């Protein structure tokens, strides 16, 4: 190997050693720390550090819709219930309890019906918004309920049905 080649190799080696050493020393002198969140937030880009918990969808109230609700549409909705419920005064309990005069009745109102603890443990009455929440999603309202019904996702359907249920009474409760 010629002297020139040796010099070049030595220069390259020295440069390498200096680069490594300075990187090492810089690492000791400066302690970079990672930010928990990026400082510049880009609209629409998910922050990996803070995953948003999926909030349960809010249930729209039926109260403001009841007075103008379509009773015929409500009666049509009630056909989804008659596989399990009767609606007539003094009607029998079937898979589910009789629902005559259900608006304003206490939870687990029917004599002789074997309710789940989920319904029995609810205090208070079936007022309009309790029925609204139950009918939107029985399992969300009362986890463990025996009522195997998926629920009515549309607030207009629930309002119509609840307005119809209100009429199934000798003395319908006042509208809200």
Question: Which residues of this protein are in contact with ligand HEC, per CB under 6 A?
Answer: 80-81, 83-85, 95-97, 99, 102, 107-110, 115-116, 118-119, 126, 131, 135, 145-149, 161
Q: Give the whole-angstrom CA distance, residue 149 versus residue 81.
A: 9
Looking up tokens 């309002």, which residue turns up? 159
Q: Taking the complex as a whole, how short is the minimal distance between the CB of residue 37 and ligand HEC, in angstroms?
A: 45
Q: Taking the complex as a whole, how short is the minimal distance between the CB of residue 98 and ligand HEC, in angstroms?
A: 8
Cβ proximity to ligand HEC, 63 vs 93, nearer residue: 93
Q: Taking the complex as a whole, how short is the minimal distance between the CB of residue 77 and ligand HEC, in angstroms?
A: 6
The 3 state secondary structure assigned to 43-103 is CCCCCCCCCCCCCCCCCCCCHHHHCCCCHHHHHHHHHHCCCCCCCCCCCCCCCCCCCCCCC
Cβ proximity to ligand HEC, 10 vs 148, nearer residue: 148
Q: Which two tokens stand for residue 73?
A: 């549409």
Q: Give the whole-angstrom CA distance, residue 126 versus residue 103.
A: 6
Neighbours of 61 (CB within 10 A): 16
Cβ proximity to ligand HEC, 146 vs 173, nearer residue: 146
Cβ proximity to ligand HEC, 19 vs 148, nearer residue: 148
Q: Give the whole-angstrom CA distance, residue 13 versus residue 25.
A: 18
Cβ proximity to ligand HEC, 80 vs 173, nearer residue: 80
- By the 10 Å C-beta count (0-12 exposed, 13-18 middle, 19+ buried), 126 is classed as buried
Its sign, for the CA torsion 78, 168, 68, 176, is: negative
Q: Taking the complex as a whole, how short is the minimal distance between the CB of residue 78 and ligand HEC, in angstroms?
A: 6
Cβ proximity to ligand HEC, 12 vs 95, nearer residue: 95
Q: Taking the complex as a whole, how short is the minimal distance between the CB of residue 107 and ligand HEC, in angstroms?
A: 5
Q: Taking the complex as a whole, how short is the minimal distance between the CB of residue 150 and ligand HEC, in angstroms?
A: 9
């Amino acid at each position: 190997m010629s002297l020139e080649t040796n010099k070049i190799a030595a220069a390259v080696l020295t440069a390498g050693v200096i680069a490594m050493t300075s990187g090492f020393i810089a690492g000791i002198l400066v302690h970079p720390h990672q930010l928990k969140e990026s400082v510049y937030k880009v609209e629409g880009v998910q922050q990996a550090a803070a995953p948003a918990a999926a909030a349960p969808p809010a249930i729209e109230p039926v109260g403001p819709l009841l007075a103008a609700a379509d009773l015929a549409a409500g009666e049509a909705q009630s056909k989804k219930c008659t596989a399990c419920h009767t609606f007539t005064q003094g009607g029998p309990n079937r898979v589910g309890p009789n629902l005559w005069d259900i608006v304003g009745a206490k939870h687990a109102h029917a004599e002789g019906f074997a309710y789940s603890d989920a319904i029995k443990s609810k205090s208070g009455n079936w007022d309009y918004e309790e029925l609204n929440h139950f009918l939107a999603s029985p399992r969300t309202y009362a986890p463990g309920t025996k009522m195997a019904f998926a629920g009515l996702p549309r607030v207009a359907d629930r309002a119509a049905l609840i307005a119809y249920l209100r009429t199934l009474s000798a003395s319908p409760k006042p509208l809200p």
